[in-house]
Amino acid sequence: MNVNREIRLASRPVGEPGPENFELVEAEMPQPGEGQILVRNTWMSVDPYMRGRMDDAESYIPPFQVGAALEGSAIGEVVASRAEAIPVGATVSHFLGWREYALLDAAGAVVVDTGVARPQDYLGALGTTGLTAYLAVTEIAPVGEGDVVFVSGAAGAVGSVAGQIARKLGAAQVIGSAGGPDKVKKVVEDFGFDAAIDYRAGSLAERLAELAPEGIDVYVDNVGGDHLAAAVGALKVHGKAALVGMISQYNATGPVPGPSNMYDVVTKRLNLRGVLVTDHLDRFPGYIAQAAAWLADGSLRTAETVVEGLEQAPAAFLGVLRGANTGKMLVRLA
């Protein structure tokens, strides 16, 4: 095993990215120095926020560099260790995905307990998407007993978990939106939402008004744009929204129009609050303990779309931006 393989950023996209923006490259197998571990990645995550890192733009996380390997959450097995705290054979979570083998300082890896959940769960329901969903409905826009909750991107990793936790918190009605009849069916039948709207098939605002004629108390926004506008229109006085992501505008090449009904925020005294999971990573141990129990007792249901092999990772990422996934989009590397 002298050769490692990694995916590098070949060029920056304008608008929607394509396969030409990625390059699969063979690199030398790294060797751990003192305090380091070598990890054979078994699973990696592709996430919508990575689209922003492909641009040369200031943000909360630095841009990927052209010619350098991409990064992102991954799970793997330690195959060589010069760090006392992490033995060979441990399963670890870390941030050097997009490559088959990752060289890490031990401090950059967290040993995960594969006795309580599957390794890939630590990239989904027990990973950042799960924690984001939990924060959204417990802290950013806390769901209370009897609330009517609307979740966009409801067939996706964050949305599917957010809706189910909202139910656990006592929501009276949980409504989701997703693209296409199959996803809508899954949102209701598998994730237990009361209703789901196919946003591609008609007016979202009208469907929302039909399903929740008295309005909604809480909105979890994964999409932005027309979804945010419909939710602002539907929120009750003193309603709350957790602004988690705005995937509808990640490929925009210029300024996007905002919702035209923002004065509703004033008149209805709405609370719209953004969240970045990276501000709350200290919450992981407590959250994982709770969510692993929910997975084990079957009260939190997950789905994943799995793509095989590092060479398919760019296709998986391009797919997540276009809705090719149900639940968490994952790449299996070994």
Residue 274 β-bridge partners: 243
Q: Does 222 bind ligand NAP (CB under 6 A)?
A: yes
Handedness of CA 139, 321, 324, 176 (dihedral sign): positive
Per-residue burial over 97-121, b = 16 or more CB atoms within 10 Å of its CB, e = otherwise: bbbbbbbbebeebbebeeeebbbbb
Residues 94-133 that bind ligand NAP (CB under 6 A): 128-129, 132
Alpha helices in the chain (DSSP H): 50-53, 128-135, 157-168, 181-189, 204-211, 225-234, 263-267, 284-297, 313-322
Number of residues that bind ligand NAP (CB under 6 A): 28
Q: Does 244 bind ligand NAP (CB under 6 A)?
A: yes
CB 187 within 8 Å of CB 196: yes
The amino acid that residue 90 corresponds to is A
CB nearer to ligand NAP: pick between 67 and 258? 258
Q: Does 73 bind ligand NAP (CB under 6 A)?
A: no
Q: Does 21 bind ligand NAP (CB under 6 A)?
A: no
CB nearer to ligand NAP: pick between 91 and 160? 160
String marking each residue 161-180 x if it binds ligand NAP according to CB under 6 A: -----------------xx-
DSSP assignment string, 230-252: HHHHHEEEEEEEEE---GGGTT-
Q: Does 138 bind ligand NAP (CB under 6 A)?
A: no
CB nearer to ligand NAP: pick between 70 and 86? 70
CB nearer to ligand NAP: pick between 187 and 333? 187
Q: Does 35 bind ligand NAP (CB under 6 A)?
A: no
CB 9 within 8 Å of CB 65: yes
Of positions 47, 100, 121, 217, contacts ligand NAP by CB under 6 A: 47
Of positions 21, 93, 164, 248, contacts ligand NAP by CB under 6 A: 248
Residue 81 β-bridge partners: 37
**Least distance in Å: CB of 228 to ligand NAP?**
11
String marking each residue 295-334 x if it binds ligand NAP according to CB under 6 A: -------------------------x--x-x---------
CA dist 314 and 74 (Å) reads: 15
CA triple 75-186-252, angle to 5 deg: 70
Distances from the Cα of 155 to the Cαs of 74, 191, 327, in angstroms? 22, 8, 6
The stretch among 45-53, 55-63, 258-266, 285-293 that binds ligand NAP (CB under 6 A) is 45-53
Q: Does 74 bind ligand NAP (CB under 6 A)?
A: no
Could you list the residues that contact ligand NAP (CB under 6 A)? 47-49, 128-129, 132, 153, 155-159, 178-179, 183, 222-223, 244-248, 275-277, 320, 323, 325
